[in-house]
Each structure stands twice: as C-alpha cells, then as structure tokens.
Amino acid sequence: MAASCNLCFRQCRLGDGELGICGVRKCRDGVVIPINYGIVSALALDPVEKKPLARFMPGGMILSAGSYGCNLHCPFCQNSDISWSDEAYSRAGEYRRITPGELADLAVSLKPRGNIGVAFTYNEPLISYEFVADTSKLLHERQLKSVIVTNGTASTHVLEELDGLVDAMNIDLKGFSSRYYRNVLRGDLDMVKNFISRAVRMCHVELTTLIVPGENDSDEEIIRMAEWIAGLKDEHGNTIGENIPWHISRFFPRFRMNDRKATDVERVYHLAGLARKKLRYVYTGNC
C-alpha cells in the first residue's frame, strides 16, 4: 500500500517499504513512520547558549540529543555525517536506540550538573517529531524543558502536534530568496516563513542565519529579512518581532561547499549592524 508523507513541502509519495528524501520516513503497510524513532547518534551536555539560545534560561546546561537524517540538502552542512550524506545512512545501524522514558530519566539524572531539559538537535529533529512529542510530554511531567533546533521545513500541522510541549526553538532562516532555498538548499522558503510565523505564537523562538558569501550576504537581503522578522505577531495579533533574537553567523567552507572562502568577519559585523536598526537582539556567531 502506498502513502503520502505530509511532513514537509515535498509530500513524498511512497510505495510500501520506500523512504522519503529525508531518509527516515518510511511507508509501512500504508502508514508513514519515522524509522529513526528513538535512535540516538549523539548525546552531549551543552550550555544552552550553544544551541544557540541567547535569551532562554541563560547560564543553564541542556542535554543535546541527535539522531540521523534531514529533509534539506545544504551543501555546507556541519553535521553531514549524521544528516544526509551517504555516511549518515550507512552508519544508521550503529546507533543506539533509547525510549522517551529513558531519555527523560537521563535528563533528570543530569539536573545536579545544571541540566534544564533536552534539546533535539544535530540532525533535523522534526522528521521524527513523534519521538520529540512523546519525550517532551515526559520532560514536562518531570519539570524539565524541551528545546528544538530545526531548519523549519515542516508543515504547520507538525507544530500543532507539538503545541504546549515545546518550550523554545532555534529555527534556521537560511536566506530570504526562493532561488537560494530551491537551488542551493533543496528547500522551500515559504514553508519556513509559515513555520516561523506559527512557532512564535507557541513558544520562545530565536532565529539563525549562516552568511554564505555570494549567496545571502547582501545588505538588501539582510534588511528585508530584518523587516520581515520585525513584523512577526503573537497569537493575539500583537507585533513582537523586534524582540525575537537573531543569530547571524559566519560561514566556513565544508562538506560539499569548498569553492569559497570563509565569510569576512567585518561583513558579518556590518550585516548585524543593519539588522540592529530593526531588531533589539542581534548576535554574531563563529567570529
């Protein structure tokens, strides 16, 4: 039996046993399931600022958990070994499997070390949003926080499944042109914008943009992004965008994008300065 995956804009039509482009959502007896449910490729106790989250429980530590797979194909991926490279999928059988309860219990055991909860990160966590939801329910029962670090390439129905379960997100807004999203990232800008617009109504949100030379580093693009962010509204229709933190980060050549140099540090600072004309909290990264 075939089925359609409605997680993101691709709407992958899958025959029985077939995987979507993300490499983890599979059709089984006419139902699409995440075969990476509970599979953990990495666990680390990190400062919450490393996610990056600058204005959510600063000074705290958070248990970061990653799996494998991704529904974008960014050529500069810094976690290519667990995202969409051949290596990521070939190594899937080596990773441990953990239940939502086991992960929540591990988070509790780390509270004496300053742990505030779990961050679902490293690969794209929303391609297994079912695991995120199940774990987050248990985290809240234990008075712990749930954080997602995501590319934002998911339908708003996924957010509805997570409403009330997630306390904070860092969402990539990788650029502001459909060309860049379509041709370089194999993604969809409109879906990400809709995702962000919905997410800011349900939890604390911070945004991140990696500045790639020759792709998304013009003054005009940064100004348009800042203006759009500044106009975001909460669930009551109040404009809240100027208070949304934005992390503007420096690119380094890696993975399949080694044809250009690292972003000039002064360029990052300049673009951040432009953004600060519209937004209160703009941070620079990798500088």
The rounded distance, in Å, linking the Cα atoms of 254 and 266 is: 21
A 10 A CB-CB count for 201 gives 16
Angle (CA) 7 13 19, round 5° = 75
Provide CATH 3.20.20.70 ranges for the chain.
Answer: 47-285
Q: Are 181 and 151 in contact (CB under 8 A)?
A: no
Strands (E), 35-133: 39-40, 42-47, 61-66, 96-97, 115-120
Handedness of CA 157, 161, 167, 172 (dihedral sign): negative
Read off the tokens for 221: 């693009």
pLDDT at res. 102: 98
210: tokens are 């990696």
Which residues, listed in sequence order, are joined to residue 284 by a DSSP beta bridge? 248
- Cis peptide bond upstream of 52, omega within 30: yes
What's the predicted TM-score (pTM) here?
0.97
Give pLDDT, residue 259.
92
* Residue at token pair 């939502």: 100
Mean pLDDT, 10 residues at a time, over the chain (287 residues)? 95 96 96 97 97 98 97 94 81 90 98 98 98 98 98 97 98 98 98 98 98 98 98 96 98 94 98 98 96
Beta bridge pairs of residue 218: none
Q: What is the CATH number of domain 47-285?
A: 3.20.20.70
